[in-house]
Structure 1
Amino acid sequence: MSETGMRNGRAWIILAISTAAQSASSVIIASGAFLIPALNDPNGGYQLTLAAAGTVAAMTTAGLMLTLVLWGLLVDRAGERVTLMIGLSAGAAAMSAPLLHQVVRGEGIEASGPVALAGILLAGGMAAGSANAASGRLVIGWFPVHRRGTAMGIRQMAQPLGVATAAVSIPTVAALHGVAVALAIPALLSLLAAAATALWVTDPQRPSRTSPNFSELRKHPYARHTGLLRIHASAVLLVIPQFTIWSFALVWLMTEREWSAFTAGLLVGAIQLAGAGGRVAAGAWSDRIGSRTTPIRIIAVTAAVTMGALAFTDLRGMSIAIVLLVAAGVITVADNGVAFTAAAEIAGPFWGGRVLSIHNTAQNAVAAAVPPAFGATITAVGFPATFALAAVFALLAAPVVPSAIGART
């Protein structure tokens, strides 16, 4: 096999491991939310109010946001492999702590109260942030420009796959065997990903000091006209319709369309899986046309039109609103991988970790604000007006997208 063929084969192996690492981290982040039924169970070990259970569950996301930029700095200084190994191992240790406590002390973690569990989930979330920057940088470093969009789209499938894994395992195991055993699931997945990283991951080569463009690549990516801030801003605006659908599709189907929780859950799960495929398709599209920004802009306009149509058909009580909900759920997430790729290409090999972490932190901050803000909006003015408001944010994103980016890879 030629050297090029060997590199291509290795790139796909590293993509698979990067996706697995990101999926394991996504399971950690999602585990908090899927523990809420066990925490809120009046006959369970915690018996928390829904508000208190939600606060404990939010600790994984809080930990993620606290450390994302620090993990990005470590990626840029120490490399992707080391960062992944440290973060995944720390995540496995944190999430296995309740089970170890149960084995050693002979009592469940419930005896230590909700504060102890909140601390464990916070630590797990802090560790999970390592995969966000490191796995993305691995993909950018190992794949050539004409394949990066597709590869990053595949890597971006990790989030819905991780959420789906958590959804089908964490609540059931927690109900049957307790919180400690449920949290052993993300611990095991993180441990397996850490082992795979140690065995098969190699950092991509970075330009040496003798390279003709070394000085240019070392420059601060925000200090030049690269379009990076506009990529961040457009991605943040598009998070709003995305999380409007993710947060309220289930309750809309159940309250406005009178679907059962089971049937509505099946459709929401199908939307998640279709959205994962949409990310790959958008990435492949950007590779084929040689532009990251054109697909993002078209996706923004299409998302605005779809959300607007959803608002109108819901107001009129039309059945096609359900079809538009599915379409909106796929379209509003399609830009994620392309925008992530664009940000990484602008950042270059020496700033990628920090830039991708900043990108994720901004998106997560806005995403966290969507459920309470738009929940209040739904209460005040109803679903149609809320969907229309989300459409406005998608429309605002279109002119923010730069016409081109100053890629440095």
Structure 2
Amino acid sequence: MSARVVVRSSAALLAAAVIAQLSISALQQGLPALGPVLQQTFALQTSGTAALLGVGSLGTATAILFWGRLTDHTTDRLVALLGLLLTAVSLTIAGFAAMVGSLGGLVIGFVAAGVFAAAPTVALTKSIATAFQPINRMGLALGIRQSAVPLGASVAAIALPLIALRWGIAYALWSMAVALLIAALGVSRAVPGERRIARLDPLLPTPWAVIAPMLIASGLYTATQIGIVSLLSLYLVNARGWSTPAAAVVFAGVMVTAVVLRILLGLAIDRWPSWRLWTFKSIGFLTASLLVTAAITDPAPVAVFLIVSASVIGMGWNVVAFTLTISLVPHERVGTSQGVMNAIVFAAWGLSPIITGLLVQSFSWSVAWIALAFLAITGALIARTRSFFKQH
């Protein structure tokens, strides 16, 4: 296969992965922009709204290890397609539940969507590692793919509330289902469907002892990131008196800025691999500093700027952590190891808005910011790797 064909196929794969991530992120990170609408529609308290927004991620956490192991034993394309199609079906069902005012049906739809949305996340991560790690561009490729997370969230943050306010929550959910179907079409055309030829030599073991600190730290960073981002719109509307559309614009601005940050970080860690761990730690310390300062200065107007800044900086860790952990794991173990990592990440993702919402409701926003800062600092202190890369 010529170099031009390889580059073209790798670019097509990355484009398909970005489109898939855009659609998944509209669900996972754009959905919180519907928080105020869901709260008003179903007469929920802050903690109840946070729980509704978190159940999908708990569904993801319970299933992603299964999808990772399935990826290692089948093909990336099969797993990604199953996930995208079944997530679309789940959101369609959730839309009908919202239309008839069934909160229980909505919860079931969100949980099912979370379970199936886990599949393309881990499958396409492995596809990208396969295509780009040999040419030392995995950090950039993952940075571009992960930039789709805030980009998809920013588009959803503006579009979903507008759709929900004009036509209803059901149509907002169905619009995400349509995006998932479009992403499935791209994956079916661009992601290779064949399995790699089996190795004749024994597989290297997964170095759990080496990557465990990064897995734990990633979970703590996720809890911090999602604790801020998932409740940002509620904070601006309930605590600051902003309108829902204005809060959605700020949310979208956070996501767009995070796109640039993730791509730049991907370029940097490819150029200076020895800085990866230091970069990861710095993100945690800086995010914590912004949160503590916001808690101290609240309710001064500067607190809003500090929280928004913490939202952006707190989203930068992702590409660094994935690049670090993938680089230490044999290729045939990437699906399983990333399944474990993502299970931890999404468990934190699901629990964080629930716990943060309870802290806000029981105490104050400042107490919640301090608690999230503590998690970020702890993650930064725990994070470490041994200075070797996989030997195959």
Q: TM-score, with normalisation over the residues of structure 2?
A: 0.84
Distance in 1 (alpha carbons) for counterparts of 2:335 and 2:39: 38
Distance in 2 (alpha carbons) for counterparts of 1:382 and 1:54: 15
Q: How does 1:4-403 map to 2 (within 5 A)?
A: 4-29=3-28, 33=32, 48-50=42-44, 58-96=54-92, 110-111=99-100, 113-144=102-133, 146-202=136-192, 206=196, 208-210=198-200, 214-217=201-204, 219-222=205-208, 225=209, 227-254=210-237, 259-291=242-274, 292-312=276-296, 314=297, 319-379=301-361, 382-403=364-385
| Deviation for aligned residue 1:56 | 5.8
| Deviation for aligned residue 1:77 | 0.6
User: Kindly tell me: are residues 339 and 207 of structure 1, through their superposed partners in 2, closer, same or farther at Cα, counting changes over 3 Å?
Assistant: farther
Distance in 2 (alpha carbons) for counterparts of 1:385 and 1:40: 22
What do the CA deviations read for 1:222-255 (whole angstroms, capped 9, x no partner)?
Answer: 2xx4x21011011122223323321444454456
User: Kindly tell me: are residues 352 and 405 of structure 1, through their superposed partners in 2, closer, same or farther at Cα, counting changes over 3 Å?
Assistant: farther
Distance in 1 (alpha carbons) for counterparts of 2:305 and 2:50: 31
User: Kindly tell me: are residues 182 and 248 of structure 1, through their superposed partners in 2, closer, same or farther at Cα, counting changes over 3 Å?
Assistant: closer
Residues 346, 405 of structure 1: 8 Å contact kept: no
What do the CA deviations read for 1:45-97 (whole angstroms, capped 9, x no partner)?
Answer: xxx43267776655533432232111111111102111112222222333345
User: Kindly tell me: are residues 404 and 283 of structure 1, through their superposed partners in 2, closer, same or farther at Cα, counting changes over 3 Å?
Assistant: farther
What do the CA deviations read for 1:136-173 (whole angstroms, capped 9, x no partner)?
Answer: 11111110363111111111122223323333333433
| SS of residue in 2 equivalent to 1:347 | coil
| SS of residue in 2 equivalent to 1:351 | helix
Residues 89, 177 of structure 2: 8 Å contact kept: yes
Consecutive unaligned residues of structure 1, counting only runs of 5 or more, are 43-47, 103-107
Distance in 1 (alpha carbons) for counterparts of 2:310 and 2:118: 28
| Deviation for aligned residue 1:38 | 6.2
Consecutive unaligned residues of structure 2, counting only runs of 5 or more, are none
Q: TM-score, with normalisation over the residues of structure 1?
A: 0.81
User: Kindly tell me: are residues 92 and 266 of structure 1, through their superposed partners in 2, closer, same or farther at Cα, counting changes over 3 Å?
Assistant: closer
Aligned Cα RMSD in Å? 3.3
| Deviation for aligned residue 1:405 | 5.2
Q: Which amino acid aligns with 2:75?
A: G
Residue 105 of structure 1 corresponds to none
Q: Which amino acid aligns with 1:162?
A: G
Residues 95, 187 of structure 1: 8 Å contact kept: yes
Distance in 2 (alpha carbons) for counterparts of 1:81 and 1:319: 48
Residues 26, 158 of structure 1: 8 Å contact kept: yes
| SS of residue in 1 equivalent to 2:331 | coil
- The number of residues matched between the two structures is 387
User: Kindly tell me: are residues 87 and 389 of structure 1, through their superposed partners in 2, closer, same or farther at Cα, counting changes over 3 Å?
Assistant: closer
Instruction: Compare 192-201 and 2-11 and name the one that shifted more.
Output: 2-11
| SS of residue in 2 equivalent to 1:132 | helix
What do the CA deviations read for 1:8-48 (whole angstroms, capped 9, x no partner)?
Answer: 23212211111111222233445765666666666xxxxx4
- Structure (1 or 2) with the larger CA radius of gyration: 1
Higher relative contact order (CA 8 A, sep 6+): 2
Residue 389 of structure 2 corresponds to 407
Residues 223, 375 of structure 2: 8 Å contact kept: yes
Kindly, what percent of the aligned residue pairs are identical?
Answer: 23
Distance in 1 (alpha carbons) for counterparts of 2:249 and 2:320: 27
User: Kindly tell me: are residues 397 and 207 of structure 1, through their superposed partners in 2, closer, same or farther at Cα, counting changes over 3 Å?
Assistant: farther
Residues 132, 357 of structure 1: 8 Å contact kept: no
User: Kindly tell me: are residues 299 and 50 of structure 1, through their superposed partners in 2, closer, same or farther at Cα, counting changes over 3 Å?
Assistant: same
Distance in 1 (alpha carbons) for counterparts of 2:114 and 2:363: 35
Distance in 2 (alpha carbons) for counterparts of 1:254 and 1:97: 29
What do the CA deviations read for 1:286-331 (whole angstroms, capped 9, x no partner)?
Answer: 111123322212222332333333334x15x655444433332221
What do the CA deviations read for 1:343-385 (whole angstroms, capped 9, x no partner)?
Answer: 2222322121222122122122223332333344345554445
| Deviation for aligned residue 1:187 | 2.1
| Deviation for aligned residue 1:123 | 2.8
Residues 69, 354 of structure 1: 8 Å contact kept: yes
Distance in 1 (alpha carbons) for counterparts of 2:111 and 2:105: 10
Q: Which amino acid aligns with 2:13?
A: I
Residues 277, 384 of structure 2: 8 Å contact kept: yes
Distance in 1 (alpha carbons) for counterparts of 2:77 and 2:67: 12
User: Kindly tell me: are residues 94 and 31 of structure 1, through their superposed partners in 2, closer, same or farther at Cα, counting changes over 3 Å?
Assistant: farther
